[in-house]
């Protein structure tokens, strides 16, 4: 019994999965030499077309699906953005018990879209950091990924890379372990050629602000069935695309969105065999690929890639394709690399400056800082109305780039078409890599700042832009001194750089340098000793074993002591004198363990005394025992 408890205790203490680290172009378990190859599945909400997902917060549903996920022979699920305030602990623990890691999307919205343009602002920063805080504490958190496809638009790349820079800095500032942060890129297809694809890889993986890994998303239209020749797939996709990335940069690369379609309404047509799986893990592919993530777990509308049918919340059934993928993953063979014997290459791409005649800035947008934007707003009198603020921050229109053009046109009008001088605080020049100090604020705050500039030049009548702005009184008290200290570092048109002092209050991203082209450094933070991230994330396996053994020894000693005490008490009971009839007293009476709802019969040579319903007097059992036992009245 004591040893059983000890083993159970050991299992509880050692339940955490080994964390994942990166060395060169490979993933490794942190505590040993073993390389990690991703065998993943997209675990996305079938009823939600948006990026957000509540699957990890569905405790009971998660436990049902973990049974199937384990049978699928995977070691990772790729989940969408998890809404803040959700309790995901039970699901994360259930996945950990099944040796399954979680790759989580950071973005619910888009850093870039045709409707809203490109931005990296305080709202998106809060969205990303909330996702990190929710999932980072778990040891089976594999990493974070930005799933925002750029479609070759080089104007978007600086914002995406700034997001990666700031998320890596945030993870360090919060003293989490070193959790990888990567990005998703669409594989070359008929719309996106190989040149912009490789240029984006170069931009996102050059210099110190580079991503930690790359996820190559296959075009589902080109790999949508299981009849593709595996050799051709290997040549063009597994080794072809990944090989070119490997030759340019030393980062782990994972293939995503491979899969086979079927008719979800007729299982007899499900002849999927996933013959392409071996080509994702064979000897040639494993040199340049760190695994792949299949698409997908749940069934959706046709064409369907799903592997399970959810008839009701309580009924889950595997479809024929499930067995095929499970078998394929169970038989993969990869050439693993030993961590200590592996010496990564040092090749790092040069950051591109021109892509298809478009200039790519050499600097990045400033790190979003809520304190600066709040202080800026506190200095303004002409600001957006509440209704217009909600609209420009979350435009609900699908009109191509209409919103972007209209928004920029109004800014230009308010800045007298001289935004570079009159509205330097919100001015962006991609060619020169100039980002104004307030460009990391929300759209409504940027619009308000430009409107206030126009109002200052034109007086009270200037605060009128088609009913989108209004005059307000300046707030009194509060953080006025601090705000003047920050905003006062800029000139009257917003030109200059805002530097947060070392004694400044904590902000969204920690201390930061933001402003014009010179403000490209990541937020400063207190230096952290090497390896401290892992120490903060949790105890090492050796320490856990030591704790478990120590606790087990203490528990074993306590149990032995309890057995000795019980044995001595038993000896005392056996040595008690017998009563006048040479019969030992009932141990139940000795311990007074009578239940008030039960009447016990006591053996005796004579008939027990009968009590009337009104008799409340105690019964004396024998001369040898003077303790009184009161029986119930009824």
What are the tens digits of pLDDT across the range 522-539? 333 333 333 333 333 344
- Does residue 32 register a pLDDT over 90? no
218 and 154 part of one domain: yes
pLDDT digits (tens, 9 = 90+) for 607-634: 444 444 444 455 454 444 444 445 444 4
Q: Average of pLDDT values for 7-12?
A: 44
What is the greatest pairwise CA distance in the chain? Answer: 115
Tell me which residue of 450, 281, 314 sits closest to 382, measured CA to CA: 450
501 in any annotated domain: yes
CA atoms lying within 13 Å on the CB side of residue 352:
23
State how far Cα 181 lies from the chain centre: 10
Is residue 544 assigned to a domain?
Answer: no
Confidence band for 598, pLDDT divided at 50, 70 and 90: very low
Buried (b) or exposed (e) across 350-384, using 16+ Cβ within 10 A? ebbeebeeebbbebbbbbbbbbbbbbbbbbbbbbb
User: Does 370 lie in the same domain as 351?
Assistant: no
The confidence band for 466, taking pLDDT boundaries of 50, 70 and 90, is: confident
Predicted pLDDT at 619: 45
CB contact at 8 A, 92 and 110: no
Residue ending a domain, choose from 465, 484, 514: 514
Residue 576, domain member (yes or no):
no
Domain boundary among 490, 514, 538: 514
For residue 531, tell me if it sits in a domain: no
Are 365 and 522 in contact by the 8 Å Cβ rule? The answer is no
- What is the pLDDT confidence band of residue 232, given thresholds at 50, 70 and 90? confident
Q: Which of residues 31 and 556 earns the better pLDDT score?
A: 31
Q: What pLDDT does residue 175 have?
A: 96
- Say yes or no: 148 and 177 in one domain: yes
Q: Which residue has the higher pLDDT, 370 or 193?
A: 370
Average pLDDT across the chain, whole number: 78
Q: Summarize pLDDT for 234-266 with one digit per residue, the tens.
A: 777 767 888 889 988 889 999 999 988 888 888
- Note the pLDDT tens digit of each residue in 111-141: 766 555 688 999 999 999 999 999 999 999 9
Q: Which pair of tokens denotes residue 342?
A: 């592996």
- Same domain for 50 and 150, yes or no, is yes
State how many domains the chain has.
3
The residue from 455, 479, 514 where one domain ends is: 514
* Rounded-to-integer distance, Cα 74 and Cα 65, Å: 13
Whether residue 392 sits in one domain with residue 498: yes
Check whether 158 has a pLDDT greater than 70.
Answer: yes
Asked if residue 120 and residue 145 are part of one domain, the reply reads: yes
Q: Identify whether residues 373 and 416 lie together within a single domain.
A: yes
Position 97 in a domain: yes
Q: How confident is the model at residue 400 (pLDDT cuts 50, 70, 90)?
A: low
Task: Tell which residue, 132, 124, 125, has the closest CA to residue 102.
Answer: 132
- Of the candidates 372, 381, 369, the one whose C-alpha atom is nearest the C-alpha of residue 475 is 381
**Binning pLDDT at 50, 70 and 90, where does residue 325 land?**
very high
Residue 194: what pLDDT? 83
Which residue in 345, 336, 343 sits closest to 34, CA to CA?
A: 336
Q: What is the DSSP letter of 36?
A: E
Is residue 519 pLDDT above 50, yes or no?
no
Distance of CA 78 to the CA centre of its chain: 10
Among 454, 459, 424, 418, CA closest to 438: 424
Question: Percent of the chain, pLDDT > 90?
Answer: 42
502 pLDDT above the threshold of 50 = no
Q: What pLDDT is attached to residue 554?
A: 56
Contact 445, 368 (CB under 8 A): no
| Residue 56 structure tokens | 């990890």
- Give dist(CA 54, CA 48) in Å, integer: 9
Evaluate whether residue 570 is within a structural domain: no
Q: Cα–Cα distances in Å, from 213 out to 108, 252, 345, 571?
A: 20, 5, 15, 69
pLDDT at 116: 59
Strand, coil or helix: what is 28?
A: strand
Task: Say if residue 483 is in the same domain as residue 346.
Answer: no
Q: Do 162 and 179 sit in the same domain of this protein?
A: yes
CA distance 283 to 287: 7
Three-state DSSP at 92 gives: helix
Cβ atoms of 42 and 295 closer than 8 Å = yes
For residue 433, the enclosing domain spans: 365-514
| Residue 274 Cα to chain centre, angstroms | 29
* 242-251, 339-348, 403-412, 450-459: least confidently modelled range: 403-412
272 domain residue, yes or no: yes
pLDDT recorded at residue 230: 78
Predicted TM-score (pTM) above 0.85: no
3-state class (DSSP) for residue 188: coil
- Specify if 248 maps to a domain: yes
Does residue 566 or residue 330 have the better pLDDT? 330
Q: What is the pLDDT of residue 593?
A: 43
Give pLDDT, residue 451.
Answer: 94
User: Do residue 184 and residue 289 come from a single domain?
Assistant: yes
The predicted model gives 553-566 an average pLDDT of 63
The whole-number pLDDT of residue 604 equals: 43
Give the single-character DSSP code of 236. I
In terms of domains, do 242 and 135 share one? yes
Alpha carbon distance 155, 113 (integer Å): 11
Question: Average pLDDT, stretch 549-553?
Answer: 54
- pLDDT, residue 39, reads 98
Structure tokens at 11: 């299992």
CATH number at residue 387: 1.20.58.1040
237 and 218 co-located in one domain: yes
Whole-angstrom Cα distance, residue 367 to residue 510?
10
Q: Which of 84-88, 252-256, 559-563 has the lowest mean pLDDT?
A: 559-563
DSSP 8-state class, residue 239? I
Residue 501 has a pLDDT of 62
Alpha-carbon span 1 to 5, nearest angstrom: 6
């Amino acid at each position: 019994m004591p040893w059983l408890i000890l083993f159970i205790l050991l299992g509880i203490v050692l339940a955490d999965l080994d964390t994942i680290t990166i060395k060169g172009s490979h993933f490794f378990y942190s505590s040993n030499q073993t390389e990690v190859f991703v065998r993943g599945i997209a675990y996305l909400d079938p009823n939600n077309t948006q990026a957000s997902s509540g699957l990890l917060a569905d405790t009971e549903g998660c436990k049902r699906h973990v049974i199937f996920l384990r049978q699928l022979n995977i070691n990772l699920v790729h989940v969408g953005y998890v809404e803040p305030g959700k309790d995901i602990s039970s699901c994360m623990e259930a996945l950990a018990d099944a040796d399954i890691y979680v790759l989580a999307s950071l973005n619910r919205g888009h850093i870039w879209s045709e409707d809203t343009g490109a931005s990296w602002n305080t709202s998106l920063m809060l969205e990303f950091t909330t996702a990190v805080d929710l999932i980072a504490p778990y040891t089976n958190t594999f990493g974070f990924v930005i799933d925002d496809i750029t479609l070759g638009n080089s104007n978007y790349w600086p914002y995406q890379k700034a997001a990666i820079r700031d998320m890596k800095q945030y993870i360090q500032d919060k003293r989490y372990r070193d959790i990888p942060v990567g990005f998703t890129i669409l594989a070359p297809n008929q719309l996106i050629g190989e040149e912009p694809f490789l240029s984006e890889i170069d931009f996102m993986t050059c210099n110190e602000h580079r991503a930690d890994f790359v996820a190559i998303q296959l075009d589902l239209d080109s790999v949508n069935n299981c009849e593709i020749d595996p050799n051709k797939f290997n040549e063009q996709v597994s080794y072809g695309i990944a090989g070119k990335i490997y030759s340019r940069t030393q980062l782990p690369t994972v293939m995503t969105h491979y899969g086979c379609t079927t008719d979800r309404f007729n299982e007899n047509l499900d002849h999927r065999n996933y013959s392409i799986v071996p080509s994702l893990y064979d000897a040639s592919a494993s040199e340049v690929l760190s695994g792949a993530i299949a698409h997908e777990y749940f069934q959706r509308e046709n064409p369907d890639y799903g592997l399970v049918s959810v008839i009701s919340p309580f009924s889950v059934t595997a479809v024929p394709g499930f067995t095929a993928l499970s078998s394929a993953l169970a038989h993969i063979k990869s050439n693993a690399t030993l961590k200590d014997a592996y010496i990564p290459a040092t090749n790092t791409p040069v950051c591109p400056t021109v892509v298809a005649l478009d200039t790519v800035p050499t600097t990045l947008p400033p790190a979003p800082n809520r304190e600066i934007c709040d202080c800026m707003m506190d200095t303004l009198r002409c600001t957006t109305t509440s209704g217009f603020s909600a609209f420009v921050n979350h435009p609900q229109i699908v009109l191509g780039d209409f919103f972007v053009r209209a928004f920029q046109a109004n800014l230009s009008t308010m800045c007298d078409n001289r935004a570079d001088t009159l509205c330097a605080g919100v001015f962006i020049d991609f060619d020169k890599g100039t980002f104004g100090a307030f460009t990391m604020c929300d759209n409504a705050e940027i619009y308000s700042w430009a409107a206030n500039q126009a109002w200052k030049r034109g007086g009270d009548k200037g605060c009128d832009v088609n009913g989108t702005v209004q005059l307000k009184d300046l707030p009194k008290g509060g953080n006025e001194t601090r705000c003047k200290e920050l905003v006062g570092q800029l000139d009257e048109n917003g030109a200059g750089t805002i530097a947060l002092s070392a004694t400044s209050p904590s902000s969204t991203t920690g201390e930061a340098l933001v402003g014009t082209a010179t403000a490209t450094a990541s937020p400063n933070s207190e230096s952290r000793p090497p390896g401290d991230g892992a120490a903060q994330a949790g105890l090492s396996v050796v320490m856990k074993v030591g704790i478990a053994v120590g606790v087990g020894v203490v528990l074993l000693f306590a149990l032995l002591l309890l057995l000795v005490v019980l044995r001595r008490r038993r000896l005392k009971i056996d040595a008690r004198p017998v009563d006048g009839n040479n019969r030992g007293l009932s141990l139940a009476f000795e311990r007074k363990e009578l239940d008030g709802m039960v009447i016990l019969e006591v053996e005796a040579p004579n008939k027990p005394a009968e009590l009337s319903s009104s008799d409340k007097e105690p019964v004396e059992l024998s001369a040898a025992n003077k303790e009184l036992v009161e029986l119930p009245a009824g």
